[in-house]
Amino acid sequence: MSRRRLTGKRHLSGYKACRNCKMIIPDDAESCPNCGSTDFSNEWNGLIIVEDVEKSCMAKFLGLTKPGIYAINVS
């Protein structure tokens, strides 16, 4: 019996990522609650949960301004 390691590429079913701001939102949302965009992608990977934008260097690196759940890569 062998256990496979989870790699970086992972899809959360029922969620999509905003191509504009990378926020991850439920599949049934019509527009992004963060930026208002309607351009979404189901092809995303990497996940970052930002609670405090001021203290998160990843948030600064990604240019995030609001707390939320974001994808690292959106294609």
Which stretches of the chain bind Zn ion, using CB under 5 A?
A: 18, 20-21, 23, 32, 34-35, 37
- Which of residues 23 and 64 has its CB atom nearest to Zn ion in the complex? 23
Distance of closest approach, residue 57 Cβ to Zn ion, in angstroms: 21
Q: Is 21 known as a binding-site position?
A: yes
Residues 9 and 37: their CA atoms lie apart, in Å, by: 24
User: CA-CA distances (angstroms) from residue 23 to 2, 39, 67?
Assistant: 35, 11, 10
Distance of closest approach, residue 58 Cβ to Zn ion, in angstroms: 17
Residue ranges of the annotated binding site are 18, 21, 32, 35
